[in-house]
Structure 1
Amino acid sequence: MTYSVIDLFAGCGGMTEGFRQSGAFKPVLAVEWDLHAAATYAANFGEGHTIWGDIAEVPDGAIPSADVVIGGPPCQGFSNLGSRNIEDPRNQMWKEYLRFVTHAKPDVFVIENVPQFRKSTEFALLKAEEDGGLLSEYELTDGVLHAADYGVPQRRQRAIVIGSRIGKIPLPEATHSADGSVPGTKPWTTVADAITGLPRVPETTALPVSSTEVFGTVVPGIYKSTDLHIGRTPTALSLERYDHVPPGGGRFDVPDHLLPRCWRDKPTGTTDVMGRMRWDRPSLTIRTEFFKPEKGQYLHPQWDADNPANRVNRVITHLEAARLQDFPPDFLWCGSKVQIAKQIGNAVPVGLAKAIADHLKPYLDRR
């Protein structure tokens, strides 16, 4: 049995890819406002069912019926990195999501967002729709899932809401744990599992010269995943800073005379910046600016305390970031380096999406 899926706020398609990998789901509609993310989605899943544009401008009549609706309304208004402003217009996008649910009439829907979403006024309003409102036919389950607990080589937490009108559906049980000691689980997937074997020194700092037409507009691409193994050209000062940071370390390992003044004057907080990953653990959260070491723990994990020649003093490449987000090797990409980085960082980890899809299938099968 194959189930139809609508993906809203689809981004580059991380959630759709996870559902596709589950083997029982077929996308019938995707909506994404960002051109380059929509182009990446179309390159992987087809342009025919992809709408590039404002979700609020999609007419009710263009919404097909579907078995499942998935998606993550923009989360910047809830994120710790944002203002968490209740009036932020991005925090109203869940209402558009509900409009699609109302017209598509899925048996199940899934909302994905940052953990803070569950403590927001908007979430309270969403829950209120369960009691005689737009979601009166649905039973809601919500919680926070840790991507690493589902085989993703990344420590990333996401709020998940499952709405069902075929009986209450719990959240999926973890399949992995830190050391595999929890009964029925495997050890976490590590950075080594994800990126071992890729060239330590990228051959180029630029994407290939390429363009394609999608939605009647020309965009950079289509790029293979291997095209994304691109480096940067750090300054001598940056390289010297990187060289002092061991696996699991960060800016506090850099000598004071090498630190920028803003860090010298701030001896506390932001512990993970200028950080180096560890081979034997999942990465920390891959954000949209993973190519900037000052933004998080994004230095390559290779570092030999006794042999400076056996150190890789660079940030991870776009390909390495994509692998840490669990994208498959044959995934295609469109956009500039910055635009693709944004797509990677904003995506739902593919393995987490697949775990949710695998979990939903038995409930759909016996409806």
Structure 2
Amino acid sequence: MAKRISMIDLFAGCGGMTSGFMAAKGYKPVMAVEWDLHAAATYASNFGEEHMRWGDIAKIQDHEIPRADVIIGGPPCQGFSNLGTRDVNDPRNKLWKEYIRFVQHAKPNVFVIENVDRFLKSSEFLLLQEEVREGGLLDGYELTSGILMAANYGAPQRRKRAIVIGSKIGKIPLPPQTHGQGNPIGLKPWRTVKDAFDRQGLADKPETTALPASSARFFGETVPGVFKSKDLHLGRTPTDLSLLRYAHVPPGGGRFNLPEELLPNCWKKKTSGTTDVMGRMQWNEPSLTIRTEFFKPEKGQYLHPQWESGKNGYRVDRPITHREAALLQTFPDNFQWCGTKIQIAKQIGNAVPPALAEAIAKHLKPYLLGTPQR
């Protein structure tokens, strides 16, 4: 029987990163840690409750940390402060100290950190680099870092993430790009919004605005759920003013397409920037980044892509649904969810796209199994 690669997922959220690693085959989660109850419940409903630790990571004792081949996860960056004292006792670095503690005790051959793209210019990243030097807490590991865009790895979304690979089995490069814009030689074309939505049977007008009335128990607590992916195709009830605004925005357009009489005062005064606000997606392009408030068009390019010009052109004037956002994030059809609508939206928007995580996992596998294809 083939060796299974044991892994720990820290700051796991709803399990986007674990989902991708599991899709890559050959990985076995032995521990996951998440402080948010509803995200932890979503993780547990998909990957099992027995290895998920819901709560403060600092309360997990050293002796409770299992050995693992790989650790994945993204400690939150609290402020991205200017480089200064490099004080490892700075309260903002508490969660980073916890991540390092897990690496020290689990002794993985590889760890993977994901974070927002500006992480690589943060004081937290500088501290990480200090710790892999001789005498540091992570002495023996070599770092590789860079910015990866999810669209280049099979997700229909232009989401950029900082990825850091730490290895004590030799320096591991970042995974090679698998997809590209246009018709690139040797690469698959970018996946588009149309690719994500097609064949899903998604109604242009969702039948409901509410999740089903159901609850489940995880970790001794009652949470809303467990919901199937199809339950997340939820509509909203926009105002007449919002509908008038939506109707003026073509694919790829945004707030600058609105006539002046439909502009709120704050937009009238701001004559540049925030170009994706009140934006409409394009069928034949990847979406922009799916954030936690994707159900609010005033927050970004979140209007449904269907829009035809002309008086009788067919238009779908609504923001994307939770289901559609999860598809753009590449969550599988059988993924299950726990929480309220807002809580689930946060889980979707905060997650690492499973397609990106899967590409990283496939790339790491031969190194972890001792058979790298250099």
Measured against the shorter chain, the TM-score band is: over 0.9
**2:230 alignment counterpart:** 226
**2:159 alignment counterpart:** 156
Q: Report the residue type matching 2:314 in the other structure.
A: N
**1:315 alignment counterpart:** 319
Give the conservation status (yes or no) of the 8 Å contact 2:83–2:122: no
Q: Once structures 1 and 2 are overlaid, which stretch shifts more, 193-202 or 318-327?
A: 193-202
- CA 84–200 in structure 1, closer or farther in 2 if over 3 Å, else same: farther
Give the conservation status (yes or no) of the 8 Å contact 2:77–2:124: no
**1:123 alignment counterpart:** 125
CA distance in structure 2 between the aligned counterparts of 1:90 and 1:248, rounded to whole angstroms: 38
Structure 1 residue 76 displacement after superposition: 5.4
- CA 84–42 in structure 1, closer or farther in 2 if over 3 Å, else same: farther
Cα deviations by residue, 1:198-250 (Å, 9 ceiling, x for unpaired): 11110000000000010000000000000000000000000000000000000
**1:302 alignment counterpart:** 306
RMSD: 1.5
CA distance in structure 2 between the aligned counterparts of 1:307 and 1:57, rounded to whole angstroms: 61
Report the secondary structure of 2:105's partner residue. Answer: helix
Give the conservation status (yes or no) of the 8 Å contact 1:74–1:91: no
Q: How many residues of Structure 1 are paired with residues of Structure 2 in the alignment?
A: 362
- 1:166 matches 2:141: no
Structure 1 residue 33 displacement after superposition: 0.3
CA distance in structure 1 between the aligned counterparts of 2:359 and 2:210, rounded to whole angstroms: 34
CA distance in structure 2 between the aligned counterparts of 1:350 and 1:94, rounded to whole angstroms: 23
Report the secondary structure of 1:267's partner residue. Answer: coil
Structure 1: runs of 5 or more not aligned: none
1:123-272 matched pairs, under 5 angstroms: 123-132=125-134, 133-181=136-184, 183-196=185-198, 197-272=201-276
Q: Report the residue type matching 1:64 in the other structure.
A: P
Structure 1 residue 62 displacement after superposition: 0.9
Q: Report the residue type matching 1:282 in the other structure.
A: P
Give the conservation status (yes or no) of the 8 Å contact 1:279–1:301: yes
4+ residue runs over 6 A deviation: 83-88
CA distance in structure 2 between the aligned counterparts of 1:185 and 1:92, rounded to whole angstroms: 41
Cα deviations by residue, 1:242-282 (Å, 9 ceiling, x for unpaired): 00000000000011101111111111111100000000000
Identity within the alignment, %? 68
**1:358 alignment counterpart:** 362
Q: Report the residue type matching 1:298 in the other structure.
A: Y
| Residue 6 of structure 1, aligned match among 5, 8, 17 | 8
- CA 58–285 in structure 1, closer or farther in 2 if over 3 Å, else same: same
Q: TM-score under structure 2 normalisation?
A: 0.94
- CA 167–355 in structure 1, closer or farther in 2 if over 3 Å, else same: same
Give the conservation status (yes or no) of the 8 Å contact 1:10–1:71: yes
